[in-house]
């Protein structure tokens, strides 16, 4: 496989995305509710469960939805009613569809021509090499796998070396190697001074890639900032564990005396333990069990869904 | 006009089943003309202008072809989401619409004009002064197809059921309502196209007698094209991806 061409540096002035008190509703449904933030150079992850309003927000930011209230600016330009902004913005939509009758090369070359690049052929070849689609470039995109479609969409979005790249769930359908490859590419683009915003509902993707994170829950900005800070909030939140042991009653009584435990309920061969201090609990449980000679049969978190994590962040 | 969008649209439409269906329909006027000649019927000028060209080509073939191509140039892209690949580019939306509309117009004319010309030339044989009459219909088809395609392209940006809405306009409004109430013919592209055919072809009223006069017809066709085109550009400029998540 050929080596990927180096990412060219971004223009002299970094481009920021300013989202100012943006709301968007569809009839009676509020999809995005009074959200404000600024995204600068580097990689920002837009994290939230399915249906949280991520796609709506990305569509507003890329000029494909009119905000019901508020405004979005890309650098010094408005996003709404301004196709000219796509000179410096690249967009990777979530929907899988491409022009299935075009080959990968034709698809990316069309993008280069529509960007009015001086040498569309060379720009397309470079973008295709960047996403490592050289071998499949002469096949019709209709026959591509989901991961290949994602990569050719990325190639079309970066063909004009945009200063801002917006990607809606870009890792969907990619295999682990393709994910790592795209992550490396986005890191390189960010290091070259570009502003990159991607959405995901998978915590680990955002954790591995994003310098900063925006957490969207039920249309509201639940948290924003450095990923480590938000991760700490997520780890330190109250947890509930389901525990089965050789003697639930004795273990429960001993654990209730621990400051890290805020409550215990016994039921049908197991107990539910509410934990106020995650680290303290994980240190205390094996020690207490050993001291009481109780065998732990099962320790499982019972509220680890992303939704419950996000709900906690919203309540804070 | 943008040559890349024109080429893309031509390739999009080339492989569609409806396009193949249109080829079959386009053969009908010639087949009917041959049958008319073979039957040795009298009055070729009246039959050809009123029945074949006015009744079949302008009333059925022209709106049907315009509907197929007019709704397909943007409707399918809006539906499957590929419109984003054109709209997320620094091109004026007006240029996108004009390029796509140009393709719809070209294809409609490419189906309907030869069909009318061949069918008309066969059936008109023996009639006096049929050349200007046929030319009148060709002009009417060109102007009518532009108006129809523009209206149907706008419809496809308004609703996912543009094809059905277009069929209702053609068969219920133009086919039924304008037959019942004469005033409604002012809101009919078909009647305007027929009026233009009569005006350009300088037809004698006992051979071909459209309801609308030439200047009215020209005004209606120009107005329909301009208003629908302006609305379509405006709609495309305000194009929204209709989903949340």
pLDDT 10s digits, A145-167: 998 999 999 999 999 999 999 99
Interchain proximity A29–B81, CB inside 8 Å: no
Closest residue in chain A to residue B84, using alpha carbons only: A93
CATH 3.30.70 positions along chain A are: 237-315
CA A301, CA A288: separation in Å to the nearest integer? 18
Alpha helices per DSSP H over B159-174: 162-167
Q: Residue B156 falls within a domain, yes or no?
A: yes
Chain A residues within 8 A of B4 when measuring between CB atoms: 110, 113-114
Interchain proximity B240–A97, CB inside 8 Å: no
Indicate the DSSP class of residue A87: G
Q: What is the ipTM of this complex?
A: 0.86
3-state secondary structure of A265: strand
Q: How many domains does the structure of chain B reveal? A: 1
CATH 3.40.50.300 positions along chain A are: 17-233
Q: Residue B243 falls within a domain, yes or no?
A: no
What average pLDDT score do residues A63-89 get?
94
Chain A residues within 8 A of B84 when measuring between CB atoms: 64, 91, 93, 95
Q: Two tokens at A108?
A: 């990316």
pLDDT at B109: 94
Query: Does the structure show a pLDDT above 60 at A304?
Result: no
Query: From the CA of A282, how many Å to the nearest CA of chain B?
Result: 36
| Domain A17-233 homologous superfamily, CATH | P-loop containing nucleotide triphosphate hydrolases (3.40.50.300)
CA A144, CA A132: separation in Å to the nearest integer? 14
Alpha helices per DSSP H over chain A: 54-61, 104-114, 120-130, 146-158, 176-191, 203-209, 227-236, 248-256, 278-291, 306-315
Of the partner residues A66, A84, A93, the one whose CB lies closest to the CB of residue B90? A84
Interchain proximity B84–A81, CB inside 8 Å: no
C-beta separation of B96 from B5 below 8 A: yes
Q: Residue B242 falls within a domain, yes or no?
A: no
Query: From the CA of B130, how many Å to the nearest CA of chain A?
Result: 45
pLDDT at A236: 65
User: Ranked by mean pLDDT, which of A1-15, A243-257, B198-212 comes out on top?
Assistant: A243-257
What average pLDDT score do residues A78-83 get?
93
Q: Residue B78 falls within a domain, yes or no?
A: yes
Give the containing element (helix H, strand E) for A172.
Answer: none
B/e letters for A2-26, b = 16+ CB within 10 Å, e = fewer, are eeeeebeebeeeebebbbeebbbbe
Cα A48-A52-A56 angle, rounded to 5 deg: 110
Kindly report the average pLDDT of chain B as a whole number. Answer: 89
Query: Does the structure show a pLDDT above 90 at B147?
Result: yes
pLDDT above 90 as % of chain A:
56
CA A92, CA A113: separation in Å to the nearest integer? 17
Of the partner residues A55, A66, A91, the one whose CB lies closest to the CB of residue B243? A55
Of the partner residues B12, B80, B238, the one whose CB lies closest to the CB of residue A97? B80
The region of weakest confidence among A43-52, A234-243, B60-69 is A234-243
Q: Range of B122's domain?
A: 3-237
What average pLDDT score do residues B140-153 get?
97
Tell me which fold the domain A237-315 belongs to. Alpha-Beta Plaits (3.30.70)
pLDDT at A305: 57
C-beta separation of A101 from A140 below 8 A: yes
Of the partner residues B2, B84, B89, the one whose CB lies closest to the CB of residue A93? B84
Query: Does the structure show a pLDDT above 50 at B244?
Result: no
Mutation pick from A58, A99, A149 vs chain B, by most beta carbons of B within 10 Å, is A99
C-beta separation of A83 from B2 below 8 A: no
Closest residue in chain B to residue A201, using alpha carbons only: B245
Cα A121-A127-A129 angle, rounded to 5 deg: 100
C-beta separation of B58 from B145 below 8 A: no
Of the partner residues A84, A95, A113, the one whose CB lies closest to the CB of residue B81? A95
CA-based nearest residue to A106, from B4, B220, B215, B245: B4
3-state secondary structure of B51: helix
| Rounded (10°) angle between helices B62-80 and B130-158 | 20
C-beta separation of A274 from A261 below 8 A: yes
Query: From the CA of B90, how many Å to the nearest CA of chain A?
Result: 4
Q: Two tokens at A215?
A: 């957490």
Chain A residues within 8 A of B93 when measuring between CB atoms: 83
Cα distances from A205 to residues A227, A310, B119, B164, in angstroms, run 12, 16, 65, 44
Give the containing element (helix H, strand E) for B103.
Answer: helix B93-124
Q: Two tokens at A267?
A: 């039921």
């Amino acid at each position: 496989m050929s080596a990927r061409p180096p990412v060219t540096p971004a223009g002299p002035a970094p481009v920021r995305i300013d989202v100012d008190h943006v709301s968007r509703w569809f009839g009676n449904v509020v999809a995005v509710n009074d959200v404000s933030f600024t995204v600068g150079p580097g990689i920002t992850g837009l994290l939230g469960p399915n249906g949280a309003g991520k796609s709506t927000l990305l569509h507003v930011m890329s000029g494909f939805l009119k905000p019901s209230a508020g405004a979005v600016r890309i650098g010094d330009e408005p996003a709404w009613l301004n196709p000219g902004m796509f000179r410096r913005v690249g967009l990777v939509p979530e929907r899988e569809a491409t022009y299935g009758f075009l080959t990968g090369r034709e698809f990316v070359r069309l993008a280069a021509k529509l960007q009015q690049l001086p040498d569309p052929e060379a720009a397309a070849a470079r973008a295709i090499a960047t996403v490592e689609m050289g071998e499949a470039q002469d096949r019709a995109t209709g026959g591509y796998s989901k991961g290949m479609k994602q990569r050719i969409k990325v190639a079309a979005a970066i063909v004009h070396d945009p200063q801002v790249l917006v990607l809606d769930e870009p890792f969907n359908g990619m295999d682990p190697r393709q994910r790592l490859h795209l992550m490396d590419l986005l890191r390189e683009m960010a290091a070259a001074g570009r502003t990159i915003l991607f959405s995901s509902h998978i915590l680990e993707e955002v954790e591995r890639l994003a310098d900063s994170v925006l957490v969207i829950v039920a249309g509201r900005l639940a948290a924003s900032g450095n990923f480590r800070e938000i991760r700490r909030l997520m780890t330190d939140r109250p947890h509930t564990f389901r525990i089965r042991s050789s003697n639930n009653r004795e273990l429960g009584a001993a654990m209730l005396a621990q400051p890290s435990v805020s409550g215990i309920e016994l039921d049908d061969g197991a107990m539910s333990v509410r934990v106020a201090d995650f680290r303290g609990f994980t240190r205390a449980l094996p020690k207490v069990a050993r001291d009481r000679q109780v065998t732990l049969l099962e320790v499982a978190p019972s509220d680890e869904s992303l939704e419950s994590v996000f709900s906690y962040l919203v309540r804070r | 006009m943008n040559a890349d969008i024109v080429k893309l649209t031509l390739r999009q439409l080339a492989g569609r089943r409806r396009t193949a269906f249109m080829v079959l329909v386009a053969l009908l006027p010639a087949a009917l003309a041959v049958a008319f000649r073979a039957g040795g019927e009298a009055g070729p000028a009246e039959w050809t202008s009123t029945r074949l060209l006015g009744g079949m080509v302008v009333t059925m073939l022209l709106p049907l072809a315009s509907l197929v191509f007019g709704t397909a140039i943007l409707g399918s892209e809006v539906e499957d989401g590929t419109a984003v690949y054109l709209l997320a580019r620094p091109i004026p939306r007006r240029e996108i619409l004009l390029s796509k509309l140009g393709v719809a117009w070209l294809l409609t004319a490419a189906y309907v004009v030869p069909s009318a010309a061949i069918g008309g030339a066969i059936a008109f044989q023996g009639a006096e002064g049929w050349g200007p009459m046929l030319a009148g219909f060709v002009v009417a088809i060109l102007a009518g197809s532009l108006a129809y395609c523009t209206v149907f392209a706008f419809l496809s940006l308004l609703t996912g059921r543009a094809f059905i809405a277009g069929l209702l306009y053609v068969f219920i409004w133009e086919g039924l309502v304008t037959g019942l109430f004469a005033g409604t013919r002012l809101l009919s592209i078909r009647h305007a196209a027929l009026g233009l055919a009569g005006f350009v072809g300088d037809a004698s009223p006992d051979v071909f007698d459209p309801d609308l006069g030439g200047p009215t017809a020209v005004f209606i066709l120009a107005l329909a094209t301009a208003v629908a085109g302006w609305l379509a550009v405006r709609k495309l400029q305000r194009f929204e991806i209709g989903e949340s998540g």
